[in-house]
Amino acid sequence: MSAAGRIVIEGIGMVGSFGCGVSDFSRALADGGSRPASLAVSTGSGPIEIPAHLADTSPLSEFVPARTLRRIDRFSRLALLGSFLALRDAGLADTERRRLGLIVASGHGATGITYAFLESFIKDGDICASPTHFANSVHNSAAANISILSGIAGPCLTVSQFHLSVPSALATALRWLAEGRADRVLFAAVEELSELIGYAWYRRRGGAKSVPMTPLRTAEETAVPAEGAACLLLSRAEAARGGYCALGEAVTGSRPDDGFPLPDAGLLVLSADGRKDAGRRFAALARNARIACYTPLYGSMPAGPAFDLAAAALILKGGRIFPSPGDAALDFPATVPAGGELLGAPRVSCLTLGDGATFGLATLENP
């Protein structure tokens, strides 16, 4: 890609169990520090507590008045907070948002308010369904809230493709920028950990026992459900003022495990998140690559690959690879050691796997 067509990550906004903002995320990457809390879930055999990476949205009051927030659900609040943080990180003024596009990526969407709306239907009848719940349950509502409250006037889209939501939405963002539909795109990957998602996790796991997340030990099921937002301000190089790194490509596809050509990158960041089925495929694909994995810092969620992108951007900017948190990675001999190490290469790729043989791959590079 020519310098004129280059896309730059100009700002980053992070919200998760590690805290809020780039500095909290960087600290967690360096220290390996983020512990799951717990989420109360109702089950047929009574209430239980499950381990969960939960995020605090209270810093949103710095950007949006409380009265305005009262109709905005938790999913949108997470998306809004990450978005405002990314815009502030880039120093983007209100007057620069006319040609700013917006893409929200989420595997689950606004499950809390959607199921509250459906439950009110079942419990009280359709005549008593809340119009506010309905408005928030609409697929594009978070994107609409971000667009209205932050003054974004460009195209606006929500992409949901479960585990491939992030690479798919990222590819669309790059297309918009290449076509000149916008000078910048705010890319917001978001998940909300509602009680419903917690219950689904409990049923999948068959219990609520908490174990440390060890995603690089692929024979074990150690996923811990999570919520959060990872937002990137993507800008055409000619419009950007500085930034973290360039975004080379983002692709999705389908390949057999033994025929996957790994990119020529100095590091491969894996979105392995403790799900055993995906873990086996990661091991088959990347066993001999120099790899890192940061999911124990923010947990298991379909939007996780966007957190990997933010980590990769910080690695490229600082030139040093953060250590992978968790126990020794028996299935990946070339894992970055506990103390971290110098990157010594101009590119970092992020690999995520979807269902079947599907994959998503994004490559970041130094300009």
Give the count of alpha carbons within 13 A of 67, CB side only: 0
> Does residue 131 belong to the site contacting another protein (CB under 8 A)?
yes
Cα–Cα dist 66/345, whole Å: 46
Q: Where are the alpha helices (DSSP H) in 253-302?
A: 276-286, 295-298
Site string for another protein, 47-66 (x = CB under 8 A): -------------------x
Fill in the DSSP letter of residue 61. G
CB of 138 to another protein, least distance (A): 14
Residues 151, 157, 159: CA angle, nearest 5 degrees? 140
CB of 295 to another protein, least distance (A): 33
Residues 6 or more apart in contact with residue 259 via CB below 8 angstroms: none
Length of the chain: 367
CB of 81 to another protein, least distance (A): 16
> Does residue 71 belong to the site contacting another protein (CB under 8 A)?
yes
Phi, psi of 167 (to 5 degrees): -65, -35
Q: Which stretch binds another protein (CB under 8 A): 43-51, 126-134, 170-178, 250-258?
A: 126-134
> Does residue 127 belong to the site contacting another protein (CB under 8 A)?
yes
Binding-site member from 38, 132, 140, 358 for another protein (CB under 8 A): 132
- The residue among 248, 232, 242 whose CA lies nearest residue 348 is 248
> Mapping DSSP to helix (H, G, I), strand (E, B) and coil, where does residue 8 land?
strand
Looking up tokens 């690959």 gives 305
Cα–Cα dist 302/253, whole Å: 17
Element of type H or E holding 313: helix 304-318
Binding-site member from 93, 128, 209, 261 for another protein (CB under 8 A): 128
Count of residues engaged in binding another protein, rule: CB under 8 A? 12
38 or 132: CB nearest another protein:
132
4 or 127: CB nearest another protein:
127
366: exposed, middle or buried (Cβ count in 10 Å: 0-12, 13-18, 19+): middle
Binding-site member from 103, 129, 297, 309 for another protein (CB under 8 A): 129
Q: Which stretch binds another protein (CB under 8 A): 130-138, 186-194, 202-210, 323-331?
A: 130-138
CB of 66 to another protein, least distance (A): 5
CB of 124 to another protein, least distance (A): 5
> Does residue 124 belong to the site contacting another protein (CB under 8 A)?
yes
Binding-site member from 8, 15, 69, 311 for another protein (CB under 8 A): 69
60 or 169: CB nearest another protein:
60
Residues 318, 324, 329: CA angle, nearest 5 degrees? 145
Q: Which stretch binds another protein (CB under 8 A): 82-90, 127-135, 168-176, 344-352?
A: 127-135
Residues that bind another protein (CB under 8 A): 66-67, 69-71, 124, 127-132
